[in-house]
Structure 1
Amino acid sequence: MTLDLTARDRSMLDGEQGPSAAAAMKILLAFSNAIGAGGLLDVTGAHIDGCLYHGKAGLDFVERLVEGSGRVRVPTTLNVGSFDLIHPGMVKMPAAEEMPARRLMKAHLELGCQATFTCAPYQTRFRPEFGQQIAWGESNAIVFANSVIGARTNRYGDFIDLCCAMTGRAPAWGLHLSENRRGRILFELDVADGEPSDSLFVGVGLIIGQASGDLVPVISGLPQPRDEDQLKALGAAAATTGAVALFHAVGITPEAGTLDEAFRGQAPEETIRISRADVDQALARLSRVPDGTPLAAVSLGTPHFSHAEWMRLLPLLRAVAPGRGIPIYVNTGRATLTRLQEEGALDGTQAFGLIPVADTCTYVTTILERLDGVVMTNSGKWAHYAPGNIGVTVAFAEMRDCIRSAAVGHVVRGAA
């Protein structure tokens, strides 16, 4: 298939705007043809998932673009890297690995990307608006942008997301197009929960991720969330256990005012009912650590903690007695961390074992002091990935139970 190109597209392809722009356009066109896109469309922003160092090939790719005087053409945020540039002494990494990891993060800045280094770009000033076409990498960011905001992006992987940023273009395909955004599988919830807990949203996300396949899920009966962080947790879990890039929650998310709107007037291809027992089962599979097990650490903020989550955490932290020596790592974006510091919100929290982590995440790099014990988290994504990534045993629980457990030195869950 030959794609229709604009004069600017051809100018980039012909090398008139530099070798890096030509390379990015050539790759983007090859990708677009491979997926059967009907054309290209303009994007207003990008989020790049290639800052995490996985080997020399990724660094070589970005440095080649830098050498060719490459620059991004739209506002472009950066996902987490392998290193906390704010707290460099916290990362335990051999120099042979640290140097390329740092260089990869720096090379993206040389392309004109923003130094956000967060998996939650929707918490920054670069948050897109409803209906905007964007090209984002990072699974939780993608599902949040599509579902909670109503912006439009596909699941772009390393290199393609950067090619979109450098050309300002993306394939007119998939979730960029209205006809592909309609719901196709229905999940009916029967989970009476009073004030809905964070873990309910995690559990629902785990289930729809596993069961949706490549169908856009619609959720009916989901309780009204306390805030968008609960929807963030749902989307992150769904994108972790499956390939979900968009979900519709009836009466909650912007493209699902009604069931009929979510399905665009068509019938669901399949209906799955979810009970409270189903949710409890899904959560139980995240960890089988019994209460009373000694605790090595707590890790929160995957995806990165928002300011609102910090405001819920800090009173919980100050309500318990410090002194057990259990570190509480909280992954967060540097913009959020700066705001907290300016507000004085973190003053005195070191006494409770609080350790903010920026620019990266504790399940992708060597930050935790101890990997030989149980680490407690309220994140479905962290609980899913950490055992395989860093070899820890995980206990999943609500945030308040994570903090209570750190205070007493062992896992406690449920009513105080």
Structure 2
Amino acid sequence: MRLTDDEKRMRDGAEGEAVAAAMDLLVRYGDALGAERLVETRNVAGTMTQPSPAKAKLVEEGGWAKAYAVINLDCDRDIEIPRMKVPTCQLQHGFAGDAAGLTHYADSSIRLQDDAESYFSDRGVNILATCTPYQVGNLPVRGEHCAWMESSAVVYCNSVLGARTNCEGASSTGAAALTGKIPYWGNHLPENPHATHLVRADVTVDGFQEWGMLGYFVGELVQEARPAVVGKLGQPDLADLKHFGAATATSGGVELYHLPGITPEAPTLEAAFGGARITEPVSYGARERAAVYDALNSRGTSRDVDFVLLGCPHASLDQVAQLAARLEGRRLHADTELWVMMPRALSSVAFRNGYTRTITAAGGRVLTDSCPAMSRAAPPGTRVFATDSAKQAHYLPAILGIEAWFGTLTECVDAALTGRWGGGLR
């Protein structure tokens, strides 16, 4: 891989051992990918602070510097970690103090994470602690080269914002944060973002649930390819697009999609395909819609609901406002818990607006920083949960061994109020 003189200096230790280790990792990574060079980035979204048994052991042996060296730089040497060279944020991590006592999640993990936040914030990491960094200040511009983790964040970054990132990992983002470099391959290359498949919605797609089901269908169809989607599409909002993208990345591995006339890289269908031949469309009709709904609800048998989970990807203020409006003056069923997950920065606004008061008065919880899938924990005794998230309906049964129901916000609220699932495809 060709390196600039500045990159060679970093590799050879001119900026310290940690930067040299980071450059060594990026060169090995780029060589494995077949990248010819590195590209500059000033926007890194990674993960340093979330606790794990392995990380706890490394911290005990040599502090957070040791943990970062091993996990984020693939380096076994004892090195000092400097401030991050470029703007870097922490994505979602484990449960925070607001979830203490609600699950079997260990208090020691919360304390370890608090310690990590202090260490890494001192080194320039912005602790956004959300899978939706674009909702709380990290908003790259069109064409900007980024180094992001987290599948739902990556697909939003590429598709809705028109920035450029591959789906990176803990090591590559750790190295990018110290160098401002990432291998120039995949979605960074200008010839690569064009559509490969065409999907046509022959049923109306409008609203959060419908966008999620369409996304689940598209992801399963194209896997890691790049779909363009046309047809009977309503005007999506932020929540619809993050739900759609998260679903495509869940059932498949989509990192970039095009909605002609909506997403920035596709003013037209022809532009989405980059002038290449437009493929024959695959229909998403009534039969396909019903099949997706059945698949997402195939993990539910008992209609007694213990737990309702909202906010995946992390909820926007509009979503929390809608939930609060539905809970005003009402009370959850005695045997059912309701959680809504959102970024900590937005939770302060939700509190000021009175949404938190309404939700907690009904018996619900507004929680931040993580989710049950990320932290692998739900309310004790949970057997059946309900959600409006296709992503959580897909993952949580496998992670926690519980049953799942997928439906609308209204159906989920009704389940929280009655303790029973009454949803169905309409």
Q: Do 1:364 and 1:390's aligned partners in 2 also have CA atoms closer than 8 Å?
A: no
The gaps in structure 2 that reach 5 residues or longer are 59-65
One-letter code aligned to 2:158: N
Matched with 1:14 is 12
- 128-137 or 56-65, which deviates more: 56-65
With the length of structure 1 as denominator, give the TM-score of the two structures. 0.91
Q: How far off is 1:67 after superposition?
A: 4.6
Matched with 2:218 is 208
Q: Do 1:130 and 1:151's aligned partners in 2 also have CA atoms closer than 8 Å?
A: yes
1:199 to 202, 209, 234: 209
Deviations 1:112-145 (A, max 9, x none): 2111110000101121122211110000000001
How far apart in 1 are the matches of 2:139 and 2:110?
Answer: 30
Taking the TM superposition and a 5 Å limit, the aligned residue runs for 1:259-278 are 259-269=269-279, 271-278=281-288
Matched with 1:62 is 68
CA 51–213 in structure 1, closer or farther in 2 if over 3 Å, else same: same
Q: How far off is 1:168 after superposition?
A: 0.7
Q: Do 1:37 and 1:171's aligned partners in 2 also have CA atoms closer than 8 Å?
A: yes
Q: How far off is 1:364 after superposition?
A: 2.5
One-letter code aligned to 1:36: G
How far apart in 1 are the matches of 2:250 and 2:117?
Answer: 24
Taking the TM superposition and a 5 Å limit, the aligned residue runs for 1:5-404 are 5=4, 7-56=5-54, 60-62=66-68, 67-94=79-106, 100=112, 102-192=114-204, 196-221=206-231, 223-269=233-279, 271-288=281-298, 293-318=303-328, 320-322=330-332, 324-365=334-375, 367-404=377-414
- 84-93 or 196-205, which deviates more: 84-93
Matched with 2:421 is 411
SS of the aligned residue for 2:142 comes to coil
Q: How far off is 1:225 after superposition?
A: 3.1
With the length of structure 2 as denominator, give the TM-score of the two structures. 0.89
Deviations 1:88-110 (A, max 9, x none): 34453346655655555555434
Q: How far off is 1:338 after superposition?
A: 1.3
- 277-286 or 82-91, which deviates more: 82-91
Q: How far off is 1:86 after superposition?
A: 4.2
How far apart in 2 are the matches of 1:221 and 1:52?
Answer: 41
How far apart in 2 are the matches of 1:190 and 1:260?
Answer: 20
CA 360–67 in structure 1, closer or farther in 2 if over 3 Å, else same: farther
Percent of aligned positions with the same letter in both sequences? 28
SS of the aligned residue for 1:285 comes to helix
Deviations 1:240-294 (A, max 9, x none): 1111000001221111111101001111456322113212211211123679811
Q: Do 1:149 and 1:254's aligned partners in 2 also have CA atoms closer than 8 Å?
A: yes
CA 171–249 in structure 1, closer or farther in 2 if over 3 Å, else same: same
How far apart in 1 are the matches of 2:339 and 2:139?
Answer: 26
